[in-house]
Amino acid sequence: MARKTLPLSDKEIKNAKPKEKEYKLFDGGGLYLVVQPNGSKGWRLKYLFQGVEKRISIGTYPAVPLAEAREKREELKKLVKSGINPSDERKTAKEQRRLVQVEAANTFESIALEFLEKQKSRLGEKTYAKKEGRFKNHIFGVIGSKNIDDIKIQDILSIIRKIELKGQNETAHRTLNLINQVYQYGLTVGRVKHNIAADINPRLALEPIVVKHMATIIDPKTIKLFLEGIDRYTGSLAVKTALQLMPYVALRPANIRHAEWNEFDFEKKLWKIPAEKMKMKTTHLVPLTDRMIEIIKTMHPLTGGGKFIFCTQTKGRDYPISENTLTKGIRIVLKNENIAGDMVSHGARSMFSTLAYENYQEHGVIPEVIERQLAHQERNKIKDAYNHAEYLNERRILMQWWSDYLDGLKNSIK
């Protein structure tokens, strides 16, 4: 005759002490308590399902007291009687909860923020801030909370149309491209089934971008007058010298403003700009001509003992002049010399690019050399991966031609 199991009591469970090995206290009906050597106590239920012995955990004591453990035992035994395996039922419920969590985490905003975080180390602060701003200002409010696979083309187009209504066509194109990048990232990491943004043809669905070229001057007589006007500029020496250097080096204004003495090797006639200062995050070499060096060394008596070549008069050597200061200086020169039109500090690059291409037969260097000097990224990524050449010799030829061209205009007879 089988021995009858006596039900457990709360006092018996509470007083159960840990031993060297785990042991069990049985309550009956397949319910028992496992006491571990570390003192923890867990409820288990032993049951038969289709003739096979199974076990399932139903919580820990005292979080699940004796009375509640007995209630769970009866609930689980009812499932067994109805032909349901409690272990399988629990696994199914756990998987459903997991899918709900995945779906909740698979919102466009969650994937976009993940993508943005991956991009952070690759982008400059301003570029990162612009991308983040587009997400917050235009995108998240419309599709951010939606599961990325539930988003429709019309959802995306509604974002674009609002931007276009403001006349910001370029922003509309950039925003669509940004959404597309999030989908590409989602596909790459297995979070997206289909890139719906790629189904939108911007040439057909979006308003065209009206290209506005950087204001510049390319007429030789006007350039001559502009260069002479810079020499007659009566503002600070730092601004005047930066303005004098700007047309010759064809760099972005930030590179000129943040130029440091330790970046220059005057013997090798080379300016090495660190990668962190460049838009494309690649070290950039600028061949220097005698004229460029002459202009730069003008500042040495004033700032040679400091960090920046072109620093402010008010804040001191640790603070470079601002871009607005350069632009203001340019406009003063234009006004003083009665030069019609406008030109911003970026315009010197446009001047160089336009005239370098127009005078190809004079300097004889290939377009890739001009683009490399402008520090433009190679659009063919495969080609760029193998094209490590800096074209340094060819760029020396190009920059010497450009330097001679500007000097020739300046010294030409009126």
Query: Which active-site residues does the annotation give?
Result: 252, 279, 346, 349, 376, 386
Query: Which two three-digit tokens encode residue 114?
Result: 């993940």
Query: Which two three-digit tokens encode residue 351?
Result: 């001047």
Nearest to 368 by CA among 402, 392, 400, 350: 392
Do residues 242 and 249 lie in contact, with contact meaning Cβ atoms separated by under 8 Å?
Answer: no
Q: What CA–CA distances, in Å, run from 398 to 45, 79, 325, 401?
A: 84, 84, 29, 5
Beta bridge pairs of residue 44: 32, 57
Write a three-state SS string for the chain.
CCCCCCCCCHHHHHHCCCCCCCEEEEEECCEEEEECCCCCEEEEEEEEECCEEEEEEEEEECCCCHHHHHHHHHHHHHHHHCCCCHHHHHHHHHHHHHHHHHHHHCEHHHHHHHHHHHHHHHCCHHHHHHHHHHHHHHHHHHHHCCEHHHCCHHHHHHHHHHHHHCCCHHHHHHHHHHHHHHHHHHHHCCCCCCCHHHHCCHHHHCCCCCCCCCCCCCCHHHHHHHHHHHHCCCCCHHHHHHHHHHHHHCCCHHHHHCCEHHHEECCCCEEEECHHHCCCCCCEEEECCHHHHHHHHCCHHHHCCCCECCEECCCEEEEECCHHHHHHHHHHHHHHCCCCCCCCCCHHHHHHHHHHHHCHHHHCCCHHHHHHHCCCCCCCHHHHHHCCCCCHHHHHHHHHHHHHHHHHHHHCCC
Nearest to 309 by CA among 373, 248, 259, 236: 259
Residue 85 phi/psi, 5° resolution?
-80, 115
Query: CA-to-CA distance for 312 and 328, rounded, in angstroms?
Result: 14
